[in-house]
Amino acid sequence: MKYIDEYRDEHIVQSLAAQIARRATRPWSVMEICGGQTHTIMKYGLDELIPASIRLVHGPGCPVCVTPLEVVDKAIEIASRADVTFASYGDMLRVPGSHSDLFRVKAAGGDVRIVYSPMDAVKLARTLPKRQVAFFGIGFETTAPPNAMAVWEARREGLDNFSMLVSHVLVPPAIRLLLGSPHNQVQGFIAPGHVCTVMGYWQYEALCRDFHVPIVVGGFEPADLLEAVDMLVGQLEEGRAVVENQYVRSVRYEGNVAAQRIVEQVLEVCDRKWRGIGMIPQSGLRLREEFAAYDAERIFGVGEMTADEPAECISAEVLQGLKRPTDCPVFGAACTPENPMGAPMVSAEGACAAYYHYRRHSFQPSEVS
């Protein structure tokens, strides 16, 4: 497949790894922000290819993992209602809520449907006029334009049975929080290539400036990630701290303006709680007031639901890159993909799940730094 296979070329990947090895004269700690990038790293064993002195830290870029517990509970509550058809991306089905998950709701007879596109949820509303179709609108900036478009389209068609449970999060505020933490050891970032496809990368310049860290926008194939690491190491070795773009085939400085425009029209920035991290101001998106008729929280009256996180799950520290999944005492024992305690074990690209599936036999305890 064009623009995929050539970035999985073994020769190029090995050459990039060799180049990184030559470039790095000291240990460096870099974070890939996006869970999809974590997935690629684990799936292809890229961290084995780069020198051990380069530590790859897995960041909080998994919107599934960071969806607050109470939002999952709200979804479960709505999906459990007899007159509701609950449409969701597949990722969210197994994420544990306080007492249940969407899969169990489906097992108990709830009408829970997996959709590939938010427009499929709109289609459901169109073709099932007697059902209340609620769509679980999660994601980072990448998914915001499609989700916003669904609401826009529902309004355009005059549908009165479509609503969205919104739980969108924004990347730059999370990175700012991470960088501002006294525990932070990350010296450079691989920015999420598809978020930046939508948003551009101008937002990251302030982070470089304020914290003097290099940031490279990276793609998702093995060659993309290694090239991004190479570019980061290059900057770190030279003491530079600017934003560079590795993912030139998809990302432009200004991003996709048309996509940004629909987001601005339908959604607005708000404070948002991140599961395992806590409240990050101005880090989320919610429906604008004029789209209140499509707000599932209001329609189903679940706005006031709250929840408490279980103490054992160290998702928070894993999500912030402070601990590895293998540092968790319940990893692989009480917490497995079949019995997940926290979202990073369930989500296809949560760090814990990635470690569990791909590397169980070779994990090492993390170095004490």
Partner 1 sequence: MREEQRSIAEMVCPAPLPAGDQVLLGHGSGGKLSADLVHDVFLAAFDNPILARMDDQAIVSINGLRLAFTTDTFVVKPLFFPGGDIGSLAVHGTVNDLAMGGAQPLFLSAAFIIEEGLPMETLRRVATSLRQAASQAGVQVVTGDTKVVEKRSGDGLFINTSGIGVVADGVQLSAHRARQGDRVLLSGPIGEHGIAILAKREGIEFDCPLESDSAALHTLVAAMLAASAEIRCLRDPTRGGLSSTLNEFAAQAQVGIEIDERAIPVREEVKGACEMLGLDPLYVANEGKLVAIVAPEAADRVLAAMRRHALGAQAQIIGSVTASHPRLVTMRTTVGPTRIVDMLAGDQLPRIC
Partner 2 sequence: MCLAVPGKIIEAEERDGNRIAKVQFGGIARQAFLNFVPEAQVGDYVMVHVGFALSRVDAEEAARTYRLLEDMGLLEEELGGAAQPEPRVP
Which chain residues interact with partner 1 by CB under 8 A? 1, 4, 8-10, 13-14, 35-36, 42-46, 48-49, 62-64, 89-91, 93-94, 96, 103-104, 106-107, 113-116, 120, 139, 143, 222, 310-312, 326, 329-341, 347-349, 356-361, 363-365
Distance CA 239, CA 234 (A): 9
What is the amino acid identity at position 129?
P
> Any contact of residue 168 with partner 2 (CB under 8 A)?
no
Shorter beta-carbon distance to partner 1: residue 140 or 300:
140
Shorter beta-carbon distance to partner 2: residue 104 or 123:
123
Distance CA 108, CA 101 (A): 11
Phi-psi map region of 29: left, alpha, beta (phi>0 left; psi -120 to 50 alpha)? beta
Distance CA 180, CA 174 (A): 10
Q: Strand 132-139's sheet: what is its strand order?
A: 111-114, 84-88, 132-139, 162-169, 278-287, 267-274
* Packing angle, helices 222-238 and 10-23, rounded to 10: 10
- Of 195, 198, 196, 137, nearest in space to 168 by CA: 137
Partner touching 94 among partner 1, partner 2, none, CB below 5 to 8 Å by kind: partner 1
Partner touching 29 among partner 1, partner 2, none, CB below 5 to 8 Å by kind: none
Q: What contacts 265, CB < 8 A, 6 or more positions away?
A: 148, 152, 288
**x-marked contacts with partner 2 along 309-328 as a string, rule CB under 8 A:** --------------------
**Given the DSSP bridges, would you call strands 28-34 and 84-88 parallel, antiparallel or unpaired?**
unpaired
Q: Which of 97, 118, 172, 344 is the binder for partner 2 (CB under 8 A)? A: 118
Contacts with partner 2 by CB under 8 A: the residue count is 58
* Distance from chain centroid for Cα 84: 27
**239-298: which residues touch partner 2 (CB under 8 A)?**
244, 248-252, 256, 258-259, 262
Partner touching 206 among partner 2, partner 1, none, CB below 5 to 8 Å by kind: none
Partner touching 90 among partner 2, partner 1, none, CB below 5 to 8 Å by kind: partner 1
Chain residues in the site for partner 2 (CB under 8 A): 1-4, 6, 9, 11-12, 14-16, 18-19, 22-23, 34-36, 61-64, 89, 116-120, 139-140, 142-143, 145-146, 149, 153, 156, 192-195, 197-198, 223, 227, 231, 234, 244, 248-252, 256, 258-259, 262, 349
